[in-house]
Structure 1
Amino acid sequence: RVLTVAFAAVCFQPLSSRGVFLDGGGPAQALLLIALLVLTTLCDALLAAAAVHARTGWPFGPLLREELRGMVGITSAVCATGAVMALAVAVAGLWALPVFSVPLLLTQLSYRRYAAVRATYRQTIASLARATEIAGYTPAGHARRVAELSRAVGRDLGLSGAELTVLEYAALMHDIGQLSLVDPVPAGATACLPVTEQRRIALLGGAVVRQTGVDAAVAVVVERQADPCREQPVAARIVRAVNAYEEKSRDAGPGGGLTALEELRLATADDYAPEVVEALARVLSRGSLSVPAAG
């Protein structure tokens, strides 16, 4: 954020010192201001995406698209602050720097507190999702592994931040409908059940999610993960493919990841969306084709 504000100030300061903004209004000046703000926005998005890419190794393209989608929020405040700061320094001197920086810092602090609340909310959902593991319906760590891999696949497919959140929550809670079963499915492998039974478990899982107060979009993904692939939303397609991959690779022993991925590729398009399977393959190629051991 500091670099972005500095970039905006550097862009505006020469124009301000030459009196470009003091010669009266006009469409040309308005377009110049908009162009400089757009340039600053691109700078902010590039810096933010580059920082995340360097830290995580995630694909740069989807990260940049996600940053650009969110530029209406704090990025617009940063750009406007940089522009106003450059103009104010010419009038008020260096005292303008702390005057305009303090509100920006307070906004950033509020954002960090909001992010902390969201992190606590996710931990609550993750704890609820572990109910199937504690009850012995699914292997330990299954929901966490599916959620992590689903989020990576969603990011590779270019889903927005809000869509990734819904996807992660749905992946964490995708098996919660199994609590309605009298006899647990061996190893929690619902992909091997008849379609009618899969749909019944999915609908029951969606009903449970709705009772928790989680976003209704999460419940929709959980309910529709057993629907025909072409009728599913993207998030449900991702959860379905990743869950099947995790189950198949876990049971296939050494080299199970490659075997499971090949099974998904050989399945019909009605079972698993080809674009999701290919995104899964790309994600796995950047790491390991093996699934972490349970526990």
Structure 2
Amino acid sequence: MAAAALAWVVTHGVAEPGNALAFGVFIAVGELARWGAAPGAGEPPLLAGSGGREPAPLGAAGALAYALLGECAGEPTGHGAFQVVAVVVAGALVGAVPHVARGRGAGPGHVARRVLTVGFAAVCFQPLYGSGELALRLGHGPGHALFLLVLLVLTALCDAVLAAVLLRARTGHPFGPLLRDELRALPGIGSAVCATGAVMALAVAVAGLWALPVFCVPLLLTQLSFRRYAAVRATYGQTIASLARATEVAGYTRPGHARRVAALSTAVGREMGLSGPELTLLEHAALMHDIGQLSLVDPVPEGATSSLPAAEQRRIALLGGAVVRQTGAPAAVAAVVEQQADPYRDQPLAARIVRAVNAYDDLAGGSGAGAGGALTALEQLRLGTGRDYQPEVVESLARVLGRVLA
């Protein structure tokens, strides 16, 4: 699509070069100022590869505004859909150069998603507006506004589908839960980007290119605020991960046990359709599920508390929950840790997942587990589904391990 657009521009020339240059620079500045090195920046450590939301809202809004631009200072424009795609590609690539030079590039998927989404909006809008059909049928009143609203909704849906497809290709997670996460996020940054792009296009139509710097400053400030918020989230996630390593440093659990349980638990949670906030809760609970073992005088062999009496398991779980509450983590995280010793039928889904995955890592022997050890551990979990583990969780774990070990 980008090659066809660039070939068309080379053949037919650039319409309204000033407009193209202004929007290209606007998009490049947005890419330069994006808040993360890749989509997903600012998410919890184990979820950082899960896709995340729009990392360059300024560039996305500018690209969408150019796709929906029909006039500039009262004069009709004639750049067309191909030129929109060419300008977006050029601006995105120029803005990505410094990030790539520092080894922080977001990869081709980021640009491809931007090009396809904006291309969809441009193809739907530019031919209708340029031919006069849009003004003839809907005029410039409520009908035109309704058309833009419907087009923005369709563009947001297109972007959500593309984001889920790219994430499915990169991680192998089921497409359904990924798409559901993207759709749930639409009322957030996605809707803000779409609305800003439409308002920016309407402002340029009246005030000309001077509207771009007017919009640029508040958007940059908003982007800076999001970047700081992402940094706070990242720091909090690192603090949780560091605290979780206390049991490993003290010799109560195997090296890397908490990290492995958290990674597998989030994968199982995504397999079972948990959303982003639920996955964050699950990850933090999985990282800290063994923190109560620090109360033991002598470590349990290999960290497996299942051999202890039920009362002792309950005491360790309650102490772990109390420690988690002192960290400032949400009460739901502490509740998951406290319920690790309860019968699985009395536990919420997050606690059931952590319980099963924790037992799997203990039985499989940690990071050195091969396919044979994994199968043996899964078989023991299946034998315990009558009392200790939820069957659906165990089968979801088996599917996740099947992809990992394949």
Q: Classify the TM-score, shorter chain.
A: 0.7 to 0.9
Match of residue 44, structure 1, among 155, 159, 181: 159
Secondary structure of 2:261 counterpart: helix
**3-state SS in 2 of match to 1:140:** coil
Structure 1 match to 2:192 = 77
Distance 1:6 1:110, change over 3 A: farther
Name the structure 2 match of 1:262.
Answer: 379
- 1:19-34 equivalences in 2 (<5 Å): 19=135, 22-25=139-142, 32-34=147-149
Contact 1:178–1:184 (Cα < 8 Å) also in 2: yes
Q: Which residue of 2 aligns with 1:119?
A: 234
SS class of match (1:159):
coil
- Quick one: distance in 2 between partners of 1:64 and 1:137? 39
Task: Label 1:44 to 1:269 Cα distance change in 2 as closer, same or farther (>3 A).
Answer: farther
Give the partner amino acid of 1:286: R
Deviation by residue 1:192-229 (Cα, 9 ceiling, x = unmatched): 32333222211111011111111111101101122111
Structure 1 residue 57: Cα displacement: 3.0
Query: What amino acid does structure 2 have at the position aligned with 1:71?
Result: L
Mapped to 2, the partners of 1:62 and 1:205 lie a distance apart of 31
* Mapped contact 1:178–1:205 kept (Cα < 8 A): yes
The structure-2 alpha-carbon separation of the partners of 1:110 and 1:8, relative to structure 1 and needing over 3 Å to count, comes to farther
Superposed CA RMSD in Å reads 2.6
| Aligned residue number for residue 292 of structure 1 | none
Shift of 1:137: 1.0
Counterpart of 1:228 in structure 2: which amino acid?
A: P
The structural deviation recorded for 1:166 is 0.7
Gaps of 5+ in 1: 290-295
- Which range moved further: 48-57 or 265-274? 48-57
After superposition, the C-alpha distances for 1:102-138 in whole angstroms (9 at most, x for unaligned) are: 5445434432332222111111111111111111111
Q: 1:224 to 1:173 in 2, by over 3 A?
A: same
Structure 1 residue 139, shift from structure 2 partner: 1.2
In the superposition, relative to structure 1, how do residues 202 and 102 fare at CA in structure 2: closer, same or farther (>3 Å)?
A: same
Corresponding residue for residue 346 of structure 2 = 231
Does residue 286 (structure 1) correspond to residue 391 (structure 2)? The answer is no
Q: Is the 8 A contact 1:5 1:81 kept in 2?
A: no
Cα separation, partners in 2 of 1:41 and 1:269, compared to 1, 3 Å: farther
Whether the 8 Å contact between 1:9 and 1:85 is mirrored in structure 2 is no
For 1:104 and 1:278, the matched residues in 2 are separated by: 46
Cα distance in 1 for partners of 2:196, 2:126 equals 13
TM-aligned CA deviation for residue 95 of structure 1: 4.8
Match for 1:195: what amino acid?
A
For 1:206-264, what per-residue CA distance to the aligned partner results, in whole angstroms no more than 9, with x for missing partners?
01111111111110110112211111111101100000000000089651111001111
CA distance in 2, matches of 1:13, 1:95: 22
Aligned twin of 1:293: none
Q: Distance in 2 between matches of 1:5 and 1:109?
A: 24
**Which position in structure 1 is the counterpart of 2:296?**
181
Query: Which residue does the alignment assign to 1:165?
Result: 280
Equivalent residue letter for 2:270: R
Q: Say whether 1:155 aligns with 2:273.
A: no
TM-score normalised by L of structure 1: 0.86
Cα separation, 2, equivalents of 1:176 and 1:116: 25
Q: Select 1:61's aligned residue among 146, 164, 176.
A: 176
Distance 1:86 1:168, change over 3 A: same
Preserved CA contact (<8 Å) 1:132 1:178: yes
1:272: which partner in 2?
389
Q: Which is worse superposed, 82-91 or 268-277?
A: 82-91
TM-superposed CA distance for 1:64, in Å, is: 1.3
> For residues 13-54 of structure 1, what are the alpha-carbon distances to aligned partners after superposition, in whole Å with 9 as ceiling and x for unaligned?
5555632664433xx666544432321221221222233333
Structure 1 residue 273: deviation in Å?
1.0
CA distance in structure 2 between the aligned counterparts of 1:97 and 1:5, rounded to whole angstroms: 18
Q: Which structure has the greater CA radius of gyration?
A: 2
Flag the 1:125–1:277 CA change in 2: closer, same or farther, 3 A: same
Structure 2 unaligned blocks of 5 or more: 1-53, 55-59, 61-113
Secondary structure of 1:286 counterpart: helix
**Further displaced range: 197-206 or 50-59:** 50-59
Alpha-carbon displacement from aligned partner over 1:160-198 (angstroms, at most 9, x marks no partner): 111111111101100011111122211110123233322
Q: 1:198 to 1:249 in 2, by over 3 A?
A: same
Q: 1:67 to 1:107 in 2, by over 3 A?
A: farther
Matches of 1:12 and 1:94 in 2, distance apart?
A: 20
